[in-house]
Structure 1
Amino acid sequence: MALPPYASTGERVWYWSFRALCALIFLFLIAPILVIVPLSFNAEPYFSFTPGMLAFDPEAWSTRWYRNILEFGMLRPDEPDGAAWFADMWANAQWVRALRNSFFIGFWATAIATVLGTLAAIGLSRSEMPYRGLIMSILISPMIVPLVITAAGLFFAFSRTGAWFEALGADPTAMGYVKVILAHAVLGTPFVIITVTATLSGFDRSLTRAAASLGANPVTTFFKVQMPLILPGVVSGGLFAFITSFDEVVAVLFLAGPQQVTVPRQMWSGIREQISPTILAVATILVIVSILLLATVEVLRRRSERLRGMSPG
């Protein structure tokens, strides 16, 4: 809100002091992320600014670590770019394999979490639902309980069921993916529940009653009336679930095998075994992806408010 022209001296001081304080807090939160971006262009294998970088020497800046994302782990990285090079990169580059795993696991975990979370939110939004508070507390507990406890519990649960499936002849690699996907779905479902529940709080129930009075069954009412109006909230919850899956490392450390290495797991291994600015390049890419996803969430939030007749705030 703009400062009124009749504001007193004290109000003007507070007005600008408050904004300066907010700017300092924002800088404190965002500075560690902003530092990563220029460091990822370091021509030397260091995690610090070199004298050449501080002097803006073009020779001190390089994109070698971004290319290293594609080449690390390749059998023949020095071959000319071509079909053979891309085949080698796709099959053997460790960061590329981790990216494939992250997107594959994130997609299916998001799909499961979105479906389960949306159904749970719709049930919890009904006034006749008994023990809504208790059920909500249980469903969102994965985001409250320390993650290492949840991961340990999932590890012991899946170790028993995994042994049963392996005894039945199930593929261990496929079972490894299933375990990680289900674990990430458990961690992402609370975000979908909270987001969709918030969207349903402004939903006009008279629309569903009107559809029922016109002869629509519950399934038709949901897909034709309710779902289009709450879709921005569902998509927002799904994006939060995907970000949670894409960023998760603790559950992967407990449950994943060598074939299910994700980007956070690869970064964890790189920090422990071989410190390289490639990690900074990957982190920069992840920051850009996160900003795009959060911008999408904000656009969907504003669209949801417009559909519900609210002015975006």
Structure 2
Amino acid sequence: MRGGIPRSPGRIFAWGMAGLVMLWLTAPVLVLLPLSFSGRRSFRFPPDTWSLRWYENFFTDSTWHASLLTSLKVGLLSTAASMILGTMAAFALHKLYFSGKAFVTGFLLAPMIFPGVVSAIAIFGVYLTWHISGTLTGFVAAHTVLSLPFVIVSVRSALRIFDWELEKAAASLGASPFETFRLVTLPLILPGVLIGGLFAFVISFDEVVVSLFLQTPFVRTLPVQMYLSVTESIDPTVAAASTIIVIVTVASILISMLFWQKRKTSDA
């Protein structure tokens, strides 16, 4: 290898395949971005005229910006709830030993692997009984259930490398259990909690299947509005909305990666 470039045929082939996969995954985004600046009411690619009219429509049309605000409210509230509940659950699973622990762990992580439509039907059936379908409370509760496993996994990973002798040292100096957690444990596992919260927000902000079952004309998230826009009309505003979602998602992932890398560098 010279200058960081792989020279063996096997490595060249591997890098070439990796590049093709990356191109295949990013191609829709590369098409989507120009469409969001099209000056015509069509999905013609490449656009022959350019305009910001669809971004203007996104932020001025009551239907679109109301769905964006709903997604942000649901995302932030469900993220806060999942961070609190997920941290508590991760502590319980890490520190407590009881029969059926494997079952409880699998139950808490099940939303991560269940098909979305199965979860949607189950949640919708329960919500009809509880009369909270189509309410902000119902959306927040459903999104919390879906994002909770990601916080649990992230916090448990942080707890595995936590030095528990620090808690014993704090207790020996007279700190109460709550003070030990607030002043010693939480600051050290905070990166895991925040990364789990970022993933929880992304999961909530992008979720469409469960939200499609719970939506009403008055409470509707942005992904649901995008789905309805595509199926009911030809409106390039959906391209602008999609671009905004991609930017929010990528920014959240990059922030989590940079934060984690900075934490690892400072610890080293």
Shared fold per TM-score greater than 0.5 = yes
Aligned to 1:154: 123
Map 1:46-125; keep pairs closer than 5 Å: 46-50=42-46, 53=48, 60-72=49-61, 93-125=62-94
Deviation at 1:11?
Answer: 6.0
Change (3 A) 1:306 1:229: farther
Q: SS of 2:87's equivalent?
A: helix
1:245 aligns with 2:204: yes
1:305 aligns with 2:261: no
Q: SS of 1:260's equivalent?
A: coil
Map 1:1-313; keep pairs closer than 5 Å: 3=1, 12-50=8-46, 53=48, 60-72=49-61, 93-126=62-95, 128-162=97-131, 176-306=135-265, 308-309=267-268
Query: With structure 2 as the length reference, what TM-score do the two structures score?
Result: 0.92
Instruction: Kindly indicate whether structure 1 or structure 2 has the higher relative contact order, using CA contacts under 8 Å at least 6 residues apart.
Output: 2
Question: Is the 8 Å Cα contact of residues 208 and 226 (structure 1) preserved in structure 2?
Answer: yes
Question: Is the 8 Å Cα contact of residues 151 and 250 (structure 1) preserved in structure 2?
Answer: yes
Query: With structure 1 as the length reference, what TM-score do the two structures score?
Result: 0.80
Deviation at 1:268?
Answer: 1.0
Higher CA-based Rg: 1
How many angstroms apart in 1 are the aligned matches of 2:238 and 2:35?
10
How many angstroms apart in 2 are the aligned matches of 1:43 and 1:262?
26
The AA in structure 1 aligned to 2:20 is L
Q: Deviations over 1:260-310 (max 9, x none)?
A: 11101110110111121110011111111111111111022223434554x
How many angstroms apart in 2 are the aligned matches of 1:132 and 1:34?
46
Question: Is the 8 Å Cα contact of residues 122 and 197 (structure 1) preserved in structure 2?
Answer: yes
Q: Deviations over 1:119-138 (max 9, x none)?
A: 11111122635443222111
Question: Is the 8 Å Cα contact of residues 188 and 240 (structure 1) preserved in structure 2?
Answer: yes
Q: SS of 1:301's equivalent?
A: helix
Q: SS of 1:140's equivalent?
A: helix
How many angstroms apart in 2 are the aligned matches of 1:291 and 1:18?
25
Q: Deviations over 1:171-217 (max 9, x none)?
A: x79x7111111000000101101111111111111111111121212
Aligned length: 267
Deviation at 1:238?
Answer: 0.7
